């Protein structure tokens, strides 16, 4: 179910109305769990069985790990079983077709078993709720007390896990939650406790980014994979603008989803973590990954990079760890070699950056900082080409056309439209770059900004489209 659909609006309003009825307060958790199940099963009811299976496995094994903490041998059996089951589900449903195409290409159509693997459906959001299951088991193994396991029966624990994994605002595209941060929030909620201003601001920003910025830019960036136009129509300026447009689009699309998820969750009394922190003002590639998709990058850091040794085992091992993490981070995004290459691209960038940081001292000044921001933005934007184009070989065609089509006539109408929809995002980042703080006097004029955003949502929204990260 899409956040920008009428069906979602009906679900949100009806769930909200039932959730805060005083005589139903004791079953609020079950109301959210049922609403989340309906949300997930809306387009494909059969796939709800996979989500239920994930919740059952992770809640049962998590409870076993926490309740038998003194028997370390038994605990590790439960833990390993949980990790294997979670990763096996992810591998089968997301990567079975990719593995067949890679290792058995000649059998993908002639062999019925391999043909079946090629046709396995991709359950929406499986990458997100699988990672949450893994983090639940790891955190429970480390410290069951922080997850409120003591004195808690399996039914109570199951409710918490079901809401943690299935809570519909974050279910399909994150943010990726941590049980130790979410579990303490699971309690009865009251209507009077809602932070209406926070919810309003988050929802308006989210829908503006998605419906006005991302959806309008998509009408132009969809042409990036048009080989005929790449070779014969687009000028170098057009291709540069498309590259800028896609960078703005993917940020607006995913930041829009995250803000809507955060705003929706707050209506039900839950706080989700911020997922973006002005990534396009990053002064380094490492800084970019501290600001972009924060819940995923911190998950990879805590559950993969640190266990591999992080930066504690010398320079070379640090470079290897960085590369492995980014390679797997790229593969997490999709079952295609282009995502592996995209991960390797960022991994290589981090290694080179780390090497120069370790061996060369740069004196920072405003000019150096500006060049760093521009350089990182260009690096990231070129990487989005690998990420977004339908096939990896399109990347080389695009780059070639970018340098060869200098003499072709530019489309100035495109220039104006892309600039109009990019300016709000650029100003949004500029405010962060200049560290402008809204004083009390300035905040009283916020209503003008949000009135404009609301007006734009109702009058200037683009054609409704699926959120980009739904495919992951």
Question: Does residue 408 fall inside a structural domain?
Answer: yes
How many Å apart are CA 456 and CA 7, to the nearest integer?
22
Q: Please, what sign has the CA dihedral across residues 427, 428, 432, 435?
A: positive
One domain for residues 176 and 210? no
CA distances from 153 to 79, 284, 376, 412 (A): 19, 47, 50, 65
Question: Does residue 1 fall inside a structural domain?
Answer: no
Structure tokens at 296: 């995923």
Which residues make Cβ contacts (< 8 Å) with residue 153, sequence separation at least 6? Answer: none
Structure tokens at 297: 């990058």
Q: Of 166, 193, 220, at which residue does a domain stop?
A: 193
One domain for residues 184 and 245? no
Q: Please, what sign has the CA dihedral across residues 417, 420, 424, 426?
A: positive
One domain for residues 280 and 360? yes
One domain for residues 225 and 141? no
Question: Does residue 117 fall inside a structural domain?
Answer: yes
Q: Which domain holds residue 54?
A: 6-193
How many Å apart are CA 125 and CA 168, to the nearest integer?
11
One domain for residues 185 and 293? no
Number of Cβ within 10 Å of residue 427's Cβ equals 9
One domain for residues 58 and 165? yes
The answer to whether 185 and 271 have CB atoms below 8 angstroms apart is yes
One domain for residues 242 and 157? no
The answer to whether 86 and 78 have CB atoms below 8 angstroms apart is no
One domain for residues 159 and 211? no
Q: Of 193, 218, 236, at which residue does a domain stop?
A: 193
Question: Does residue 400 fall inside a structural domain?
Answer: yes
One domain for residues 204 and 189? no
The tens-digit pLDDT sequence of the chain (472 residues) is 788 888 999 999 999 999 999 999 999 999 999 999 999 998 888 889 999 999 999 999 999 998 887 788 888 999 999 999 999 999 988 888 888 887 777 666 666 666 677 777 888 889 999 999 999 999 998 876 667 665 668 888 999 999 999 999 999 887 999 998 999 999 999 999 999 999 999 999 999 999 999 999 998 888 887 777 777 788 889 899 999 999 999 999 999 999 999 999 999 999 999 999 999 999 999 999 999 999 999 999 999 999 988 888 878 889 999 999 999 999 998 888 899 999 999 999 999 999 888 777 767 777 778 899 999 999 999 999 998 888 888 899 999 989 888 888 887 887 888 889 999 999 888 877 776 554 454 556 677 888 899 999 999 888 877 777 666 6
Is the pTM here over 0.95, yes or no? no
Q: Is 445 exposed, middle or buried (0-12, 13-18, 19+ CB in 10 A)?
A: exposed
Domain count for the chain, please give it. 2
Nearest to 261 by CA among 333, 206, 299: 206
One domain for residues 107 and 228? no
One domain for residues 219 and 152? no
Active-site residue list:
333
Q: Of 178, 193, 208, at which residue does a domain stop?
A: 193
Question: Does residue 144 fall inside a structural domain?
Answer: yes
One domain for residues 312 and 187? no
Q: What is the DSSP letter of 150?
A: T
């Amino acid at each position: 179910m899409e956040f920008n659909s009428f069906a979602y609006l009906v679900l949100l309003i009806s769930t909200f109305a039932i959730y805060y009825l005083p005589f139903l307060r004791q079953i609020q958790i079950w109301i959210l769990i049922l609403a989340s199940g309906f949300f997930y099963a809306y387009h494909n009811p059969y796939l709800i069985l996979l989500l239920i299976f994930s919740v059952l496995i992770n809640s049962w094994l998590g409870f076993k790990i926490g309740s038998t903490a003194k028997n370390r041998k038994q605990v590790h059996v439960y833990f390993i079983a949980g990790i294997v089951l979670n990763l096996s589900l992810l591998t089968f449903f997301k990567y079975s077709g990719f593995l067949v195409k890679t290792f058995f290409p000649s059998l993908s159509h002639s062999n019925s078993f391999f043909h079946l693997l090629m046709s396995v459906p991709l359950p929406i959001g499986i990458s997100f709720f699988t990672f949450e299951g893994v983090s639940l088991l790891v955190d429970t193994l480390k410290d069951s007390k922080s997850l409120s396991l003591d004195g808690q029966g399996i039914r109570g624990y199951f409710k918490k896990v079901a809401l943690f994994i299935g809570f519909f605002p974050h279910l399909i595209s994150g943010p990726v939650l941590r049980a130790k941060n979410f579990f303490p929030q699971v309690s009865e909620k009251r209507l009077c406790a809602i932070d209406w201003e926070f919810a309003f601001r988050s929802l308006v920003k989210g829908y503006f980014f998605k419906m006005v910025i991302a959806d309008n830019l998509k009408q132009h960036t969809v042409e990036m994979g048009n080989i005929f136009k790449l070779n014969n129509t687009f000028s170098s300026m057009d291709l540069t603008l498309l590259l800028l447009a896609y960078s703005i689009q993917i940020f607006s699309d995913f930041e829009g989803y995250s803000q809507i998820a955060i705003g929706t969750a707050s209506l039900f009394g839950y706080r989700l973590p911020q997922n973006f922190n002005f990534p396009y003002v990053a002064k380094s590639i490492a800084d970019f990954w501290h600001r972009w998709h924060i819940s995923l990058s911190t998950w990879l850091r805590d559950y993969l990079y640190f266990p591999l040794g992080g930066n504690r085992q010398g320079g070379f091992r640090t470079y290897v760890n960085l590369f492995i993490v980014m390679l797997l981070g790229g593969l997490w995004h999709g079952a295609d070699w282009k995502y592996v290459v995209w991960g390797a691209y960022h991994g290589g960038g981090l290694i080179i950056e780390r090497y120069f940081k370790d061996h060369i001292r740069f004196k920072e000044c405003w000019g150096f900082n500006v060049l760093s921001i521009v350089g990182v933005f260009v690096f990231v934007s070129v990487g989005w080409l690998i990420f977004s184009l339908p096939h990896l070989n399109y990347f080389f065609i695009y780059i070639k056309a970018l340098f060869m089509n200098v003499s072709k006539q530019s489309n100035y109408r495109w220039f104006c439209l892309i600039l109009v929809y990019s300016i709000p995002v650029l100003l949004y980042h500029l405010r962060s770059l200049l560290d402008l703080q809204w004083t009390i006097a300035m905040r009283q004029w916020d209503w003008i900004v949000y009135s404009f955003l609301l007006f734009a949502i109702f009058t200037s929204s683009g054609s409704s489209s699926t959120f980009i990260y739904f495919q992951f």
